[in-house]
Copies of this chain bind each other. A is one copy, B any other.
Amino acid sequence: MRVQRPKPITEQVSDILRQRLRNREYPPGSRMPSESELALELGVSRATVRTVMAKFATEGLILRKQGDGTYVNERIRDVDFRYGGIWDFSRLIEDNGYTHSIKTLLVEERNPTQQEAQALGLDGNTAVINLQRLFMANNQPAICTNNAISRSFIDVNIDLTQFNSQLPIHKLLQEYCHQDIAYAITDIEAKSAAAPINAVLRRSADTPLLQLTETFYDKVNQPLVFGISYFDQAILRLRLVQAWG
């Protein structure tokens, strides 16, 4: 276990303001206190407040008007909506108004597929750990994910049957591989899914699925995880907020 430093001030400010937004202490559509007021109240510099506000603005959470003030965007419901940052399927399900749970379908060690080997930069003989999971929304199957991690990242002594597969992928990597994800590249496609996928999602084959193909990298550009996920659109919406400035 590592010694915990106190959180950076910007993060603390961010937490406080997110909390107030979630509690509707600053109601949707209303004008927030000015940056100077917030800085004074929280005992930090205006620059620090502005750093946080800039992040909120790119998420579309607030609308800033020069010469006027900063307003809470009533169109963005969930304060935890994330723009930037890797997608967290558990949160995505919660954001859509469901309670989530994770069902582990498979944990196995096997040789990589050709696609996995290419994405992870492996030769065909290096094994991968394959983790297949089903994200449930109100106990209905919503997302089916398949993640491959190079076997060499994981301590050989780990008992796969004891694997805590409830964690989001970046936590899994921290826990079992001591690796931090720096960024991800995601391809979004519309697919007619194969029969097995339709079976686990309990859906008919006539409507197409959203397929996300993700590769996660660390700071030295080493590929960590390759994953393919399928979305059931009957339950979930994939929604982006894109802000200018």
Contacts and interface: CB of A to CB of B under 8 A. Distances in A.
Interface string A62-74: 0111000001011
Contact of A221 (B75, B192, B210): B75
Interface in A183-210: 183-192, 207-210
A85 interface: yes
A184 B242 contact: yes
A238 interface: yes
Interface in A213-245: 217, 219-221, 233, 237-245
A49 interface: no
Given A85-B244, A244-B85, A188 B188 contact: yes
B209 A190 contact: yes
A60 B86 CA distance: 12
Interface size class of A (residues with CB under 8 A): 35 or more
Given A241-B183, A244-B86, A244-B181, A221 B190 contact: no
A87 interface: yes
A84 to B, nearest CB: 6
Given A58-B84, A84-B242, A192-B208, 13 more contacts: A29-B221, A63-B221, A71-B221, A75-B185, A83-B84, A182-B244, A186-B241, A188-B210, A188-B240, A189-B210, A189-B237, A189-B238, A190-B233
